[in-house]
């Protein structure tokens, strides 16, 4: 081999080493070795998992105590308390409080959650979804479609009574619009929006109530079996989209308002159908006359 060729080879070899693109180490360098990885953490014991769950529950309880709105039924509180700590719920409560300082808001604060006081959350068997509270004085009291005594039934409730008279044998107009008797039997009368600024319907729409009442419907759908949901009108059908229809019964019709009742609410026979479905599920039927 010529000295020039030998010299050029040495230069190229050194350059490759400097670039890091050589294939084998020099005698002074040790081969790289893989460091052993840390062993995976030991799984938590049942006692540790239980302690974590209890601590989490205690933290939620503490948060709920600070954020819980007035008039909330205990069994409902226990299952929905996580919602009280959500940012949207705090913003919603602040909004409603501010509205009350400047405007008339229905229903009164102590009646917003009347629907949680009528029965245990696990005793609900029928759900009737409404839109938002009545916006005239002495009407709204926390139950959809229902009004305080001695207020006369509004037009939609009048049509509900008309349908009951044709559907339920022996039903008679009670002479008032208070549906508390149904609620105490496990009929959840739930509006999508739970407050309203007088005298403007839907004035508290898209402020956060829909998220909260969606959580209520979702809990019932996930944790109960064989409930009957009555969805009247397009808004109720949209809200009922999350209902698990493999677990529950869903009855749909147009809204009972005077503008639409004759297009399918009259003759829907939801009340008798609900009782048939409840009996098939082993539940006690509703006494629709008990008002």
Catalytic residue numbers, as ranges = 132
CA separation for the pair 119, 3 (Å, rounded): 102
CA atoms within 13 A on the CB side of 88: 12
CA separation for the pair 252, 262 (Å, rounded): 14
The DSSP code for 250 is E
Query: Please, which residues have CB within 8 angstroms of residue 224's CB and are 6 or more apart in sequence?
Result: 122, 124, 247, 248
Which residues, in sequence order, are bridge partners of residue 227? none
> How many C-beta atoms lie closer than 10 Å to residue 253's C-beta?
22
Treating both helix axes as pointing N-terminal to C-terminal, what angle do 74-84 and 209-223 enclose, rounded to 10 degrees? 120
Please say whether the beta carbons of 259 and 234 come within 8 A.
no
CA separation for the pair 163, 76 (Å, rounded): 31
CA separation for the pair 22, 40 (Å, rounded): 36
């Amino acid at each position: 081999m010529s000295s020039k060729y030998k010299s050029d080879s040495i230069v190229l070899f050194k350059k490759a080493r400097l670039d890091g693109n050589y294939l084998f180490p020099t005698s002074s360098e040790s081969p790289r070795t893989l460091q052993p990885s840390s062993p995976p953490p030991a799984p938590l014991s049942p006692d540790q998992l239980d302690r974590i769950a209890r601590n989490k529950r205690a933290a939620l309880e503490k948060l709920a105590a600070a954020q819980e709105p007035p008039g909330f039924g205990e069994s409902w509180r226990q299952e929905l308390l996580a919602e009280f700590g959500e940012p949207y719920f705090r913003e919603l409560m602040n909004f409603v409080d501010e509205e009350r300082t400047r405007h008339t808001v229905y229903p009164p604060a102590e009646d917003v959650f009347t629907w949680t006081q009528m029965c245990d959350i696990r005793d609900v068997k029928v759900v009737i979804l409404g839109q938002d509270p009545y916006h005239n004085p002495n009407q709204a009291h926390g139950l959809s479609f229902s009004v305080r005594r001695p207020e006369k039934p509004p037009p939609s409730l009048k049509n509900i009574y008309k349908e009951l008279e044709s559907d339920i044998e022996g039903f008679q107009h009670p002479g008032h619009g208070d549906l508390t008797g149904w609620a105490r039997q496990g009929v959840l009368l739930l509006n999508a929006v739970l407050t309203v600024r007088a005298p403007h319907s839907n004035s508290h729409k898209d402020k956060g109530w829909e998220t909260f009442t969606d959580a209520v419907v979702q809990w019932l759908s996930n944790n109960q079996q064989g409930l009957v949901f009555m969805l009247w009108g397009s808004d109720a059908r949209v809200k009922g989209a999350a209902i698990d229809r493999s677990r529950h019964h869903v009855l749909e019709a147009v809204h009972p308002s005077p503008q639409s009742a004759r297009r399918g609410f009259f003759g829907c026979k939801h009340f008798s159908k609900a009782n048939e479905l409840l009996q098939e599920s082993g539940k006690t039927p509703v006494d629709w006359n008990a008002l």
